[in-house]
Amino acid sequence: MNYADLLAPIHQFLHCRTPQAWIEEARKPENLPLLLTDHMVCELKAAQTATWLIRKYVADKPSGEAILAWLKPYEAFVHREDHDSGFIEAHKNLSRRIITRNDIPWGDELLDKMILLIKEELHHFYQVWEIMQARGIAYQKITASRYAKGLLREVITHEPETLVDKLICGAYIEARSCERFASLAPWLDEELAKFYVSLLRSEARHYQDYLSLAARIAPFDIAGRVRQIGEAEARLIQEPDNELRFHSGVPAWRMM
C-alpha cells in the first residue's frame, strides 16, 4: 500500500525530516534490542500522557482512579527489577465506563479520543513485547531520551495555555513517531517493516486528534504556538545526541 497521502500532512507539519545519520545508526542489527525496548516504553509513556489529560481535565475522581489502574501492570513491568508479564491479563480487560464532568464542553471529545489512544498504545506495547519475546530480547531498563522533556520545556505554565501546549506537544510526538516508523521501515527485516508500517495510520490519527483538540479548546489562534513548539521539536531532532533512542537527535559519535 502507498502511504504517501497519509505521510504528506505529517511531513508538512514537522519542521524537519529524520536525519540520515539517525537512520543509519538505528538500522544496525546490534541496536535493535535498544530501539525495540525504547519503542515499547514510549508506547507506555504515550498512554500515561493521555491518562494524565483525562484525569486532570475531564474525569470524575472514581473514573480517574479506575483508568489509572489500567496502566499499573504495564508500569510495574517496566520499573521492576524482576520483570513479569502480569500486564498480559490486564491487556485483555481494558474496559470501563468513564464519567466526565458535565461543565466542560469539549470533555466528551477529549475523553473519547484519549481513551482510544490509550487502548491503541497499550496494544502496541504488547505487540512490541511479543516481538521481543519471539526474538529472545530480554527487557532491560534504559534511560529516557531528552526529547519529551525538551518539548515540555516549551509549555506555558498557566491555563488554558498549559493544556493547549501539552496537546500540541502530543501532536508533535505522535507525528514524529509516524515519520520515524516510515523512515526506518525500509531498512528493517520483513516482519519488523510490516509491523512498523501497520502503525502509521494510528499514529497519524493520534497527531490529528491532538491538534484538533488544541484548536477547539484554545480561545485563540494556535498557529503561533504550533510553530514555536515545532521549531523546538526540530532542534531536538537535528542537534547532537549522546544516546540512541527512538526520538533521539543526530548520534554525536557519528559527528566526530
pLDDT confidence of residue 79:
85
| Calculated CA dihedral for residues 114, 116, 117, 119, nearest 10 degrees | 120
The DSSP symbol for 135 reads: T
> How do strand 250-251 and strand 240-241 relate by DSSP bridges?
parallel
Give the C-alpha separation, 55 to 63, whole Å. Answer: 8
**Cα separation, 168 vs 170, whole angstroms:** 5
Calculate Rg over the CA atoms of the chain. Answer: 18
> For the segment 176-223, what is each residue's pLDDT rounded down to a tens digit?
999 999 999 999 999 999 999 999 999 999 999 999 999 999 999 999
Lowest-pLDDT choice from 78-82, 147-151, 180-184: 78-82
- Residue 238 C-alpha cell reads as 537535528
- pTM for the model: 0.93
Task: Write the pLDDT tens digit of every residue in 2-51.
Answer: 688 889 999 999 999 999 999 999 999 999 999 999 999 999 999 999 99
CA distance 89 to 12: 40
